[in-house]
């Protein structure tokens, strides 16, 4: 087991900085997910950890030891790729034993390790097949097995599930989580899929333009996004964003938009806001709930409903501002009818309009 510290890391291609002065500490045995849109530098960062991309500046340490310029094979890592990267001319067994054979591990040990890994991943019956004869899910199991037999201290997963269909993806996601529980190695996992990030991670690092936007637990990243980008990137359907400004009405802090005004006394502000200050309100669809008998914070019109199976995604119009919200599938609704909702303002987010930072 190994901790990773990245200090002031910079990776440039020509003038373009893919990773810009990045610091990151990964704890021993932690499952860290690097989450971000394509081109945000997450894969480059992982390649740098694996020693597959040269750093332009800065350093990388494993357990306090500088490995910035160490060869990939000397870093004690195992890596699983999106495209599986199985050696097409070798059988599954030879694929998994390749690294051990190069390291001149003795036959008996190799066999024992492969039997063990194959059992863990339930691929024992596939050992003598060629990769071409396997399905996508089986190939990815083999790829994980290849990393497993190496006794890696750190596992690097580079979008390992992105080439699989939804059902397999969910299945393997669970397996990876179990694997982490079982072997306890440090794991770094790159993905653009927020569900994977939220379900797997101990901590998520949300990246954009080569910079970590927020590094926190899945719950905090989801509930308290550090900025507008993180807020918008996580959550499906996306967070509703409404622009407006703060004002004081009857002594209470209020957020006024073009269509409605909301009492914001309950919101846990992290920064001081002033009357007249412009901001963006971020509201997740599940935090807008149909009004019960006691209070009706907002009145609007139901304009569109999309049944999603487990619940219903609805769009309503509040004074000219359209917002998505969730409805229970057990009730029936009619589009065009007036619709009143309550908003859980404690769970809302405010972002500074200029910097995008959470307020």
Partner 1 sequence: MQTAQLTWHVRRNAVAYLALLPMAAIVVFAYLGTMAWSIRLSFSSSRLLPRNDFVGFAQYTELFGTSRWLTSLENFAFIAVFFLAICFVLGTLLAIFIDQNVRAEGLFRTAFLYPYAMSMVVTGLMWQWILNPDLGIERTMRDMGFSGFVLDWVVNSNTVLYAVVLATVWHGAGLVMALLLAGLRGIDTDLWKATRIDGIPAWRVYAFIILPILRPMIVTSLVLLSISIVKMYDLIVAMTNGGPGNASEVPAKFIMDNLFERANIGLATAASTTMLVTVLLIIAPVLYSQYLGKKGSSA
Partner 2 sequence: MSVAELIAPAARRPVTSQQLWGRIGIYAFLGAMTLFFLLPLYVMVVTSLKTMDEIRLGQIFALPRELTFDAWKVAWSSACTGLDCTGLRVGFWNSVEILIPSVVLSILLGALNGYALSFWKVRGGNVLFACLLLGAFMPYQVFIYPLVRFYAQAGIYGSLPGVVLTHVIFGMPVMTLLFRNYYSGLPTELFKAARIDGAGFWMIFFTIILPMSVPITIVAVIMQVTAIWNDFLLGLVFAGRENLPMTVQLNNIVNTTTGERAYNVNMAATILTSLVPLAVYLGSGRWFVRGIASGAVKG
Interface ranges with partner 2 (CB under 8 A)? 47, 50-52, 54, 71-73, 77-79, 81-89, 98-99, 102-103, 143, 146, 150, 158
CA–CA dist 257, 268 (Å, integer): 20
Does 71 participate in binding partner 1 (rule CB under 8 A)? yes
Does 274 participate in binding partner 1 (rule CB under 8 A)? no
* Residue 23: its H or E element: strand 16-26
Considering CB distances under 5 to 8 angstroms, the limit depending on partner class, which of partner 2, partner 1, none binds residue 13?
Answer: partner 1
By DSSP bridging, strand 31-35 and strand 186-191 are parallel
Structure tokens at 8: 């002031």
For residues 144 and 160, is the Cβ–Cβ distance under 8 A? yes
The SS3 call for residue 280 is strand
Q: What is the DSSP string of 239-259?
A: PEEEEEEEEEETTEEEEEESS
Considering CB distances under 5 to 8 angstroms, the limit depending on partner class, which of partner 1, partner 2, none binds residue 214?
Answer: none
Does 69 participate in binding partner 1 (rule CB under 8 A)? yes
**Which is nearer to partner 2, 80 or 323 (by Cβ)?**
80
**Which is nearer to partner 1, 10 or 344 (by Cβ)?**
10
Does 116 participate in binding partner 1 (rule CB under 8 A)? no
CA–CA dist 343, 283 (Å, integer): 9
Does 59 participate in binding partner 1 (rule CB under 8 A)? no
Smallest distance, Å, CB 158 to partner 2? 8
Does 13 participate in binding partner 1 (rule CB under 8 A)? yes
**Which is nearer to partner 2, 40 or 100 (by Cβ)?**
100
CA–CA dist 249, 106 (Å, integer): 78
Does 20 participate in binding partner 1 (rule CB under 8 A)? no
Residue 70 Ramachandran class (φ > 0 left, ψ -120 to 50 alpha, else beta): beta
By DSSP bridging, strand 16-26 and strand 154-158 are unpaired
Smallest distance, Å, CB 46 to partner 1? 13
Q: Which of 56, 223, 257, 342 contacts partner 1 by CB under 8 A?
A: 56
Structure tokens at 354: 């200029």
Does 54 participate in binding partner 1 (rule CB under 8 A)? yes
Residues near partner 1 (CB under 8 A): 13-14, 18, 44, 53-57, 69, 71
């Amino acid at each position: 087991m190994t901790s990773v510290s990245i200090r002031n890391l910079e990776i440039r291609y020509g003038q373009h900085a893919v990773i810009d002065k990045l610091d990151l500490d990964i704890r021993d045995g932690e499952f860290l997910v690097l989450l971000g849109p394509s081109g945000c530098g997450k894969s480059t960062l992982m390649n740098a950890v694996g020693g597959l991309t040269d750093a332009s500046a800065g350093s990388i340490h494993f357990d306090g030891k500088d490995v910035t310029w160490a060869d990939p094979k000397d870093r004690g890592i195992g890596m699983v790729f999106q495209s599986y990267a199985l050696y097409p001319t070798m059988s599954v067994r030879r694929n998994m034993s390749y690294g051990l054979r190069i390291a001149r591990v003795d036959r008996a040990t190799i066999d024992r390790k492969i039997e063990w890994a194959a059992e863990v991943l339930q691929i024992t019956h596939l050992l003598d097949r060629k990769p071409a004869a396997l399905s996508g899910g089986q190939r990815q199991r083999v790829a994980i097995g290849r990393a497993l037999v190496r006794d890696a201290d750190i596992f690097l997963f580079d979008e390992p599930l992105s080439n699989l269909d939804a059902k397999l993806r969910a299945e393997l996601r669970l397996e990876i989580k179990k694997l982490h529980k079982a072997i306890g190695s440090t794991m770094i996992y790159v993905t653009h899929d927020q569900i994977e990030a939220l379900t797997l991670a101990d901590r998520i690092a949300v990246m954009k333009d080569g910079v970590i936007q927020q590094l926190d637990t899945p719950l905090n990243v989801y509930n308290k996004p550090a900025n507008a980008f993180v807020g918008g990137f996580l959550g499906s359907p996306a967070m509703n964003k409404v622009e407006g400004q703060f004002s004081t009405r009857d002594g209470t802090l209020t957020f006024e938009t073009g269509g409605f005004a909301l009492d914001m006394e309950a919101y846990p502000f992290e920064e001081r806001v002033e009357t007249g200050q412009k901001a963006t309100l971020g509201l997740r669809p599940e935090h807008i709930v149909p009004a019960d008998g006691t209070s009706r914070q907002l009145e609007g019109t139901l304009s569109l409903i999309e049944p999603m199976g487990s619940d219903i995604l609805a769009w309503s119009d509040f004074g000219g501002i359209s917002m998505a919200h969730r409805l229970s599938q057990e009730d029936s609704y009619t589009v065009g009818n007036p619709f009143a909702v309550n908003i859980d303002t404690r769970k809302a987010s405010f972002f500074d309009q200029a910097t995008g930072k959470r307020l």
